[in-house]
Chains A and B, each alone.
Chain A
Amino acid sequence: MPEQSEKAVHVRYFAILREQRGLVEETITTRSATAVELYAELQARHHFSLSQNFVKVSVNNTFQPMNTPLHDQDLLVFIPPVAGG
């Protein structure tokens, strides 16, 4: 596997993830290649209670599959189970 280059991505947090992270947003330098890898990295670091099966991802304000590749300066939002209405 080729070595993954380092990239800077912006992450915004909502609801349970915002509370568990204690932040609304941050910029992260990562070697994670995909959104699901980044979630695993953040979950391990911040002890998020939701496993990746419970989370969706939005990249640059559009829903994407969790295996979507990351690019420098992407805006990611991990979406906990929703409960509108």
Chain B
Amino acid sequence: MFRLSPSPIDSKKIADTLVADESGAIITFEGRVRNHQDGKKVLALEYEAYEDLAMEEAKKIIAEASQKFKVQNIDCVHRVGKLDIREIALWVGVSAAHRDAAFQACRYVVDEIKARLPIWKKEYFEDGTTQWVNCQEKSRVH
């Protein structure tokens, strides 16, 4: 399951929903807002999503991970809106019978979400400037 959340993510509450008799391993990932980027002090981040396409693409990613790895459940939440330092921007949780599959699937889902979902991030710096990440002249082609 994947969803976008305009309100703070309660990671403990969601992680508890993955607990099951058959799950010997639960791996969770929290992507949090840090206070620096390329030597500049960051005050906040703002996330914007194209929801219809993000939901479709996330479904594909979860289906791919479920096929590649022997997992039981995959749950993901991505924040939208303006986030303060330390807040959770992306939460991914995976349950499996054994740890290897859970670790690998969690890594796969996080990497693919970052690479493929139509979600954009704006950095607010301490010096008053802002920038959309990866959208500057020197950015890589995606």
Q: Give 23 A-B contacts (CB < 8 Å), ordered by A residue.
A: A14-B50, A15-B132, A16-B120, A16-B132, A53-B141, A62-B56, A77-B50, A77-B53, A77-B118, A79-B50, A79-B118, A81-B139, A81-B142, A82-B115, A82-B117, A83-B132, A83-B134, A83-B135, A84-B47, A84-B78, A84-B117, A84-B120, A85-B89
- Contact flags B99-141 to A (C-beta < 8 A → 1, else 0): 0000000000010011111111110000000001111010111
Greatest chain A CB density within 10 A among B48, B110, B142 is at: B142
**B8 within 8 A of partner (CB):** no
A58-B50, A61-B53, A85-B31 given as contacts; is B141 within 8 A of A80 (CB)?
no
Secondary structure type dominating chain B contacts: mixed
* Total count of chain A residues near the partner, CB < 8 A: 22
Q: How far is the CA of A77 from the CA of B57 in the complex (A)?
A: 15
Q: How far is the CA of A56 from the CA of B110 in the complex (A)?
A: 21
Chain A residues near B96: list those with CB within 8 A: none
CB proximity to B under 8 Å, residues A30-85 = 49-50, 53-54, 56, 58, 61-63, 77, 79-85
Secondary structure type dominating chain A contacts: mixed
**A10 within 8 A of partner (CB):** no
Q: Is A85 in contact with B114, judged by CB distance below 8 angstroms? A: yes
Q: Is A83 in contact with B53, judged by CB distance below 8 angstroms? A: no
CB distance from B117 to the nearest CB of A (A): 5
Q: How far is the CA of A62 from the CA of B121 in the complex (A)?
A: 21
Chain A residues near B119: list those with CB within 8 A: 82-85
Chain B residues near A53: list those with CB within 8 A: 141
Greatest chain A CB density within 10 A among B31, B89, B90, B120 is at: B120
Q: Is A54 in contact with B141, judged by CB distance below 8 angstroms? A: yes
Q: How far is the CA of A77 from the CA of B118 in the complex (A)?
A: 10
Chain A residues near B133: list those with CB within 8 A: 83
Which residue on B lies nearest to A61, using beta carbons?
B52
Q: How far is the CA of A15 from the CA of B46 in the complex (A)?
A: 10
A53-B141, A58-B53, A61-B56 given as contacts; is B90 within 8 A of A85 (CB)?
yes
- Contact flags B72-91 to A (C-beta < 8 A → 1, else 0): 00000010000000000110
